[in-house]
Amino acid sequence: CHGSTVKQQRRFPDDFVFGAATASYQIEGAWDEDGKGENIWDYMTHTNPTVIRDSSNGDIAADSYHNYKRDVEMMRELGLDAYRFSLSWARILPTGMANEINPAGIAYYNNLINEMLKYNIEPMITLYHWDLPQKLQELGGFVNPLFTDWFEDYARVVFENFGDRVKMFITFNEPYQICYQGYGATIKAPILNSTAIGTYLCAKHLVVAHAKAFHLYDKEFKPTQKGVCGITISVNWFDAATDTEEDRAAAEMKRQGEWGLYAHPIFSSEGGFPKEFSEKVAAKSAQQGYARSRMPEFTEEENAFVRGASDFFGVNHYTAKMVSATQYKEDAPVPSFMDDMDVGQFALPEWPVGASSWLMLVPNSIYNTLTHLKEKYNNPVFYITENGWSSYPDSSLIDDDRITYYRSSMESLLNCLDDGINLKGYMAWSLMDNYEWMQGYQERFGLYHVNFEDPARTRTPRKSAFVYKHIIKNRFVDYEYEPDTM
């Protein structure tokens, strides 16, 4: 029974941070305006448009470059405490290198930040959400060990220009999606498909680059700017299909391969890549005739540098899968990341599916995830930095399926808080419809609908926007609430 007068409502504390998230390439547009350089998504979508489901690109996207005041107005309409957005590296540093700073790029983000601060909305900056300057990709991008220096130089420019007003920095968004999907496969730019090697080189360099930016902030900026710096990793919940030892080991292998590669070096007490996974890759590499493991190790010095290098653990969480040692295995090439991991996965039939084939609503999966991470990594500070539901382009503004998903997430968050998990905030993905990467404009995650046919890119709140607003304002989930403006 949901009778709000009968049932005692569980509440979110007043200082719990509710927000929404976006990413530069997905919303900004203005791809070559005012001195912006080309990035790997500009390059890929222009030279190879058919890799995108609807052959579209982010040239204009939601045109937030010209609509930032409306974006902030939406944040105010929702009553957001915070807004998480990412910086376009090539808008700030057109060639990727820090020798040449584009003043128009700095001005755009200053305008956005200042507009938010007028209304007490806390800015959270992601330095890297997948749009690498193309010039750096031509030098190898993340598989070049010098990447760690380029990223540190870029981070310095960011802290120097925005750190006086921005108190929360996230270095990277979703290393697995960058390293496996982008370098190891053809699911994200730069579609390098270097599955057995590129994935792991990227993993190591990304983690070291993160640590360099963290230490730079910690030593040179934090003492005066007093903010925090962390990383966001996508962590879905992977449960063993059965209670057998084989399936439990398979689930652990899946967790190590998908997010442990990035979380373990930073958040575990021993550091380095996860033990079982790296031993497995080393053994397979030897078998396959490689002179050394395809997965690089961390030196003692690197390990110490990376370990503990984060003020918080940002978690992007969407869904869950069951993992099996024997069933649902797809044929994987040898050698490959998938062959290294060597497990099968499936979804339960009762889980509702969104417009994205991978996205199922799995009750309490946030709680299961954070409980696991809390145990494993000694109770760090957590933020859920993304969580959301996709619908089809022609779906109604009355998005009851998205409301069901968000309410289910809220219950899971409250379970976390009840259990003493150190969870400080939650960002909905997304503030508005945007360019959904390889799916183009065919999957919509917005609390606000965006009309991509309309040159003005008009934004209209969905029903879920009103429900989220009500939750933020009242700090509990009211199942009786029906917006009267729809």
Tell me which residues are annotated as active site: 174, 386
Binding mask 417-436 for ligand PNW (x = CB under 6 A): ------------x------x
Q: Which of 214, 273, 318, 337 binds ligand PNW (CB under 6 A)?
A: 318
Give me the least distance between CB of 420 and ligand PNW, in Å please. Answer: 26
Closest to 152 in 3D by CA, of 103, 71, 98: 98
Cβ nearer to ligand PNW, comparing 239 with 386 = 386
Q: Count Cβ atoms within 10 A of the Cβ of residue 218 and give its class: 0-12 exposed, 13-18 middle, 19 or more buried.
A: middle
Residue 316 interacting with ligand PNW (CB under 6 A): yes
Q: Which of 39, 161, 171, 173 binds ligand PNW (CB under 6 A)?
A: 173
Which span (170-178, 295-303, 376-384, 393-401) binds ligand PNW, by CB under 6 A? 170-178
Q: Which of 358, 398, 400, 451 binds ligand PNW (CB under 6 A)?
A: 358
Binding mask 125-154 for ligand PNW (x = CB under 6 A): ------------------------------
Which span (65-73, 135-143, 312-320, 370-378) binds ligand PNW, by CB under 6 A? 312-320
Cβ nearer to ligand PNW, comparing 65 with 445 = 445
- Coil, strand or helix: which one is 485? coil
Closest to 341 in 3D by CA, of 352, 333, 351, 350: 333
Q: Give the alpha-carbon dihedral of 72, 424, 476, 316, to 10 degrees.
A: 70
Residue 386 interacting with ligand PNW (CB under 6 A): yes
Q: Which of 23, 82, 92, 178 binds ligand PNW (CB under 6 A)?
A: 23
Q: Please state, in angstroms and rounded to a whole number, the distance separating the CA atoms of residues 30 and 147.
A: 26
CA 185 to chain centre: 18
> How big is the CA angle at 213 (ends 209 and 215), to the nearest 5 degrees?
115
For 371-376, which contacts have Cβ atoms below 8 Å and span 24 or more sequence positions?
371/416, 371/419, 371/421, 372/237, 372/255, 373/235, 373/263, 373/267, 373/313, 373/315, 374/421, 374/422, 376/267, 376/268
DSSP letter assigned to residue 158: H
Site for ligand PNW in 220-239 (CB under 6 A): 234, 236
Contact footprint for ligand PNW (CB under 6 A): 23, 26, 173-174, 177, 234, 236, 316, 318-319, 358, 386, 429, 436, 445
